[in-house]
Amino acid sequence: MQSDSPAAERRESDRVFVLNPVSGSQDHVDDVVKLAADYGFEVLTTEESGDATRFARRAAPDVDLVAAVGGDGTVNEVVNGIVEADALESTTVGVVPTGTGNNFATNIGIEGIEHAFEVIDDGRRRTIDLGLANDCAFVNSCIGGVTAEASSDTSSETKRDLGVLAYVKNTLESAQEFDSLPLRVETAAEPDGEFERAWEGEALFVLVGNCRRFTGSRTAQAHVEDGLLEVTIVEDAAIPDLLGGAFLEGLFARDSTHIIRRRTPSLTIEHREHAVEYSLDGEMLETEHLELDVNPTALEIAVGEGYQPNPDEEGGLFES
Ligand SMILES: Nc1ncnc2c1ncn2[C@@H]1O[C@H](COP(=O)(O)OP(=O)(O)OP(=O)(O)O)[C@@H](O)[C@H]1O
């Protein structure tokens, strides 16, 4: 395997922290740098978007662990760097939550900055599923149909309380009219022999969760070691329901005629006319044809004591 860094340039530490100084409220840099020095970990600070991927790609072949210090977007960049270095098997990912939403960190039981250092130092390790969208990796979710403008307008408080539903809520409240998406979504057969299915129609949003479920409630974490993605299609026809005063969280939590849920190891999403903007853990990807897969239990992560692979043993709302 080829490495970007010459063998002579061995790292100072076998754990490298990739720090995004502009994530979240941006007041975490001094604390993180001090903690890293106390623990003897190396810190690489990003200067622009894309640096976290580059730093992780270069460091991964030489180290045991690369930690993302930031929010979900930084985790996504770091994981993609490790994938590009072809170093998934030998690299653990740590997460220090200094972002705005920190959904992934919450899902894996990381409670704060100091806790993250303790977990990275000697906490549990688990291997979780890794989502792939047209060969780009994602850990939490892939979302189509929620506009980038809506994302940037959403307040941090709403984002923290509702996660991705905050964007949906914001879009519904601010948009004068909705551009529905004429989509065809094909979900593949489950490993246990369930047959494949296709859905075709006008969608408002398509939400695909690996470590994320779109109920907006306590069980917002999906089963992340089952080799499956949880797909939620919100049909255009759901708009009157969504605008009719129904609590968004409640609507997503129960069955609805216009909300389709599937669990599948892979799927394709096709737009009949033009490219759609998808958000992979908050990082944008524009394409007409999206292929989504799971690389089962491919990503080793440092998890907190509160992490549960399967948050609800009952399986809940999803059909295969
Ligand atoms: N030094 C930098 N300057 C500008 N942008 C950066 C820098 N480093 C990283 N980025 C970009 O910042 C973006 C946001 O980062 P991130 O998602 O980690 O934080 P957040 O949006 O505050 O948190 P969350 O996604 O959890 O709500 C990412 O797209 C990343 O590429």
Judged on CB neighbours under 10 Å (0-12, 13-18, 19+), 58 is buried
Nearest-atom index, ligand 1, CA of 156: 27
Nearest-atom index, ligand 1, CA of 20: 8
At 169, is the pLDDT very low, low, confident or very high (cuts 50, 70, 90)? Answer: low
As for the ipTM of the complex, it is 0.96
Q: What are the backbone dihedrals phi and psi of residue 283, each rounded to the nearest 5 degrees, phi first?
A: -95, 135
Class for the domain spanning 141-294:
mainly beta
pLDDT tens digits along 93-120: 999 999 988 889 999 999 999 999 999 9
Distance, in Å, from the CA atom of 150 to the CA atom of 210, rounded to the nearest integer, reads 22
Instruction: Say yes or no: CB of residue 187 within 6 Å of ligand 1.
Output: no
Residue 163's pLDDT is 56
Query: Among all chains, which residue has been given the structure tokens 């539903």?
Result: 165
Pocket-testing residue among 74, 80, 162, ligand 1, by greatest number of atoms within 8 A of Cβ: 74
Query: Residue 196's beta-bridge partner residues?
Result: none
Instruction: Say yes or no: CB of residue 76 within 6 Å of ligand 1.
Output: no
For residue 38 the two structure tokens come to 């106390």
Segments making up each domain of the chain, as ranges: 15-123, 141-294
Kindly give the distance from the C-alpha atom of residue 214 to the centroid of ligand 1, in angstroms, as a whole number. 22
b/e burial code for range 149-167 (CB count within 10 A of at least 16 → b): ebbeebeeebbeebbbbbb
C-beta separation of 297 from 225 below 8 A:
yes
The stretches of 123-269 forming alpha helices (DSSP H) are: 148-153, 156-162, 165-174, 239-243, 248-253
Q: Calculate the average pLDDT of the chain.
A: 83
What one-character DSSP code corresponds to residue 256? B
Stated pTM of the model? 0.87
pLDDT tens digits along 49-90: 999 999 999 999 999 999 999 999 999 999 999 999 999 999
pLDDT tens digits along 268-318: 999 988 898 898 998 889 999 999 999 999 999 999 999 988 877 644 445
Residue 110's pLDDT is 96
Class for the domain spanning 15-123:
alpha beta
Kindly give the distance from the C-alpha atom of residue 81 to the centroid of ligand 1, in angstroms, as a whole number. 15
Distance, in Å, from the CA atom of 70 to the CA atom of 30, rounded to the nearest integer, reads 14
Instruction: Say yes or no: CB of residue 144 within 6 Å of ligand 1.
Output: no
Instruction: Say yes or no: CB of residue 46 within 6 Å of ligand 1.
Output: yes
C-beta separation of 300 from 122 below 8 A:
no
- The β-bridge relationship of strands 124-133 and 141-144 is unpaired
C-beta separation of 42 from 16 below 8 A:
yes
Judged on CB neighbours under 10 Å (0-12, 13-18, 19+), 189 is middle
**What is the number of alpha carbons within 13 Å of residue 2 lying toward its C-beta?**
2
Kindly give the distance from the C-alpha atom of residue 167 to the centroid of ligand 1, in angstroms, as a whole number. 17
Instruction: Say yes or no: CB of residue 70 within 6 Å of ligand 1.
Output: yes
